[in-house]
Structure 1
């Protein structure tokens, strides 16, 4: 593994914080099977994470001292570990994004766009929801809960789809994405438990969380797709070969990482849904053993 790993347990939570330190210096430009299309698809995804992970942390912190959960000792421990893991994800994706930047791919610009989209979108939805009693904190937390379901679901695909794993031909990047995937599934219920603790399980809460998922997925699809196309165009790699690679990897019926997500994504709309209903314990145990965690 091309990383120094320090594992700590934040206040006795059910999952640890792994302090990673990947060395991206030797990562090749087209690290995913030598394909510009596949590499830029994942770089476009990575460009979402620094601002996105910070948004997740801020959203949970904003309600952490809410009277409904501030004395819930177990949940407070989970929140501390959640924040620790998300902070490490930010750090490592910043490192990878910088390694892509050195090849002339303007990921810094995409990171700035991500932050602007997040800030403008959250303010627009808070403005729209204000007349019916929806606060900025509610908008932020429900968006975080929805996006955490997305990240846990795509993470499950990375951990279970052998075709995708085989395409990750650079060991540093493969380990980085699999580490991230493990942790997304370890903490997949934290934001949801905070949401339910603060806003309950009623009809209004259901409408908030499901409506937020729809809005978040539409926004995410267009932003990430724009990022991929821009990276390809700037790299003079916007061609049929790259688009075919992206289609097969992302959207083909049998192998696609996105098409493979639909069952778990739809589960979010089930009344009474909880992230832990989607059991990933065995696959996590297997991958943690493989990666020496």
Structure 2
């Protein structure tokens, strides 16, 4: 009687540098009054950003998984897609938990979440190819955002320490999988026309919904009646040399004919933060729930 050779083990996300990390974040039961630089306007921007991640990442995963069959012949890319999908699902779960903390603080973050979810239904009506192009654009945004968070001290100095580590972990993983969507897009054949169309589409849907959500929070919290806070919050986010201004100035490179996320090398930054967060003395090592040994 002959025995068949064991089937080779399929590559997983962790094998290709995109490990899904199950974490038990110790989120506060009660958040500081204003968790970003003690400024209401900027704090509500951060709350809005957290609120829109769950519907956004669900859209990202769906748009990539739609083309999963097209990458089955590339074992490395197939594993990277699996890692990307798993990381994004965990991101959504942890931001749902953080959003619960914001709700306990009295912020109705379900409003920006639902607004962006509704905006994404518009994108769902476009072709699968165009949805993937939109996802590639939004993944470029999250990668640039993540790099800025990790490469300067500004975010860590301004944001309440009770929630900072969740953002640092999320930022690291956004960089780890930053090129997956675009590599899938290259497999099906990129289109400069689609990429250019993705920009106004995303701005007119997700961008408008996000700003609406932020505005709603500002009105609901009465911040709109505090012009000094509004001015300072706008400066902290969009002023010269500030957080979101730096991010937005790097977005146009997406329309370059030879754009690819990996042309901007962040591997050294990623490795440094893997060690800071998950090394032997890493700040999140004890919170990491390791998978069972096979």
- Structure 1's unaligned 5+ residue stretches are 1-8, 127-135
Q: Whose Rg is larger?
A: 2
Matched, 1:108 2:99: no
SS at match of 1:291: helix
Cα shift readout 1:244-271 (whole Å, capped 9, x = no counterpart): 23222221112x2221124531221221
In structure 2, the partner of 1:58 is 62
State the alpha-carbon separation in 2 of the partners of residues 64 and 159 from structure 1: 31
Determine whether 1:143 maps to 2:134.
yes
Corresponding residue of 1:22: 25
- Deviation of 1:210 after TM superposition, in Å, equals 2.7
1:99-128 residue CA offsets vs partner (Å, 9 max, x unmatched): 1112222112322222111002431xx2xx
Q: Distance in 2 between matches of 1:140 and 1:221?
A: 15
Contact kept? 2:111, 2:213, Cα under 8 Å: no
The answer to whether the 8 A contact 1:164-1:249 is kept is no
Query: Which of the residues 31, 35, 46 maps onto 1:31?
Result: 35
How many angstroms does 1:208 deviate by?
0.6
After superposing the two structures, state which structure 1 stretch, 207-216 or 69-78, moved more.
207-216
Q: Counterpart of 2:229?
A: 242
Partner of 1:5: none
Most deviating of 184-193 and 172-181:
172-181
Structure 1 Cα separation of the partners of residues 66 and 91 of structure 2: 20
Range with bigger deviation, 213-222 or 188-197: 213-222
Aligned to 1:286: 272
Work out whether 1:192 is the aligned partner of 2:196.
no
Alpha-carbon separation, structure 2, partners of 1:161 and 1:102: 30
Query: Retained in 2: the 8 A contact 1:100–1:107?
Result: yes
Distance 1:242 1:50 in 2: 28
1:111-190 alignment, distance < 5 Å: 111-123=113-125, 126=126, 136-168=127-159, 170-190=160-180
Q: Relative to structure 2, which stretch is displaced further, 273-282 or 210-219?
A: 210-219
Question: Number of paired residues?
Answer: 266
Following TM superposition, the consecutive aligned residue runs of length 4 or more in structure 1 with deviations greater than 3 angstroms are 217-221
| Counterpart Cα distance in 1 of 2:147 and 2:203 | 17
Deviation at 1:45, TM superposition (A): 0.9
Unaligned runs of 5+ in 2: 1-11, 280-294
User: What is the deviation of 1:151?
Assistant: 0.7
Which shows bigger deviation, 25-34 or 55-64? 25-34
Distance of aligned partners of 1:99 and 1:116 in 2 relative to their CA distance in 1, 3 Å threshold: same
**1:47-73: CA deviation from partner (whole Å, max 9, x where unpaired):** 11111111111111111013xx22111
| TM-score, reference length from structure 2 | 0.85
The two structures have a TM-score, normalised by structure 1, of 0.85
- Checking the alignment, whether the CA contact within 8 Å between 1:122 and 1:139 is kept in structure 2 is no
Q: 1:220 to 1:258 in 2, by over 3 A?
A: farther
What is the RMSD of the two structures over their aligned residues, measured on CA atoms? Answer: 1.8
